[in-house]
Amino acid sequence: TEEIMHRTEKLSVVGQLAAGIAHEIRNPLTAIKGFTQLLKKEEHNDNAYLEVMLSELERIEDIVSDLLILAKPQPSKMEKVDIGLLLEDTVDLFSSEAILHNVEIITEIELADPYIKGESNKLKQVFINLLKNAIEAMPDGGTITVSAMRTSNGRVVAKIKDEGIGIPEERIPNLGEPFYSTKEKGTGLGLMICNRIIKNHGGTISIESEINKGTTISIFFPSFGPSKIPANIK
Ligand code: ADP
Ligand code: MG
């Protein structure tokens, strides 16, 4: 019975996700279909219709690319990653977007030994998602602080701190649920992807937030001193 129950549980999670995906994709599809029918009927081509159609198509594209990240296999190529360098590289990717949104990104890396075990592309994906959320949380601009340090018990923690709108306390449990988004153009898949990747790295995520003050997302990685790095990891 235990196994059957386990299977039913699994199915319902898959079923839930499938229903969520279907719902999220059906909405923009319905809009695109409606506008296509309108364009077919009317003699004049209204550019406004095309604009809506394009933005709805982009929405489907966003959802599908986020789902593809989720669908990719578990991390297999764990390597020695300089988390400080990875954070700096990721922040650099946002240099033009930050200026565009009146946002300044400061990095504070305080690590004598900056190495963790991980998959750098996946970890980059996590920090890209978190930096995106931080920028989106500050419609009037502000400062994002990206920091990394070692905790007293030897773990590496990376933090993304913003001065944005914050998250109501009762909503924090919803974060990371598929398709939970408060944004007009959000997919609600970003934090789910982060959770999955961090879990695969043996890490944890913690969220502190205050309305209209800002949010700090902390990512804790397991301790991984140089002496503990297996020989096959270079
Ligand atoms: P999306 O960004 O597509 O909405 P995410 O999974 O990245 O999906 O985030 C889910 C929700 O969590 C967001 O819609 C937002 O309400 C909230 N959120 C995440 N990060 C922040 C942040 N830094 N500040 C305020 N709210 C946030
Ligand atoms: Mg997001």
pLDDT digit string, tens, across residues 116-149: 999 998 899 899 999 999 999 999 999 999 999 9
Joined tokens for residue 214: 């800002």
- Check pocket membership of 134 for ligand 1, CB cut-off 6 A: yes
Mention every residue, 6+ apart, whose C-beta is less than 8 A from residue 227.
none
The one-letter code for the residue type at 103 is V
pLDDT band at 234 (very low <50, low <70, confident <90, very high): very low
Mean of per-residue pLDDT scores for the chain? 87
Distance CA 117, CA 114 (A): 10
Distance CA 215, CA 93 (A): 21
Query: How far from chain centre, in Å, is Cα 144?
Result: 16
- Check pocket membership of 214 for ligand 1, CB cut-off 6 A: no
Name, of 15-19, 35-39, 98-102, 175-179, the range with top average pLDDT.
Answer: 98-102
N residues, the chain? 234
Q: pTM score, two decimals?
A: 0.81
Distance CA 75, CA 119 (A): 7
DSSP letter for 227, please. Answer: G
The one-letter code for the residue type at 214 is G
Distance CA 148, CA 62 (A): 30
- Check pocket membership of 116 for ligand 1, CB cut-off 6 A: no
Distance CA 33, CA 35 (A): 6
Mean pLDDT score, 177-202? 89
- Check pocket membership of 125 for ligand 1, CB cut-off 6 A: no
CA 181 – ligand 1 centroid, Å:
6
DSSP letter for 145, please. Answer: E
Alpha helices in 79-162 (DSSP H): 83-93, 95-100, 120-136
Distance CA 57, CA 77 (A): 34
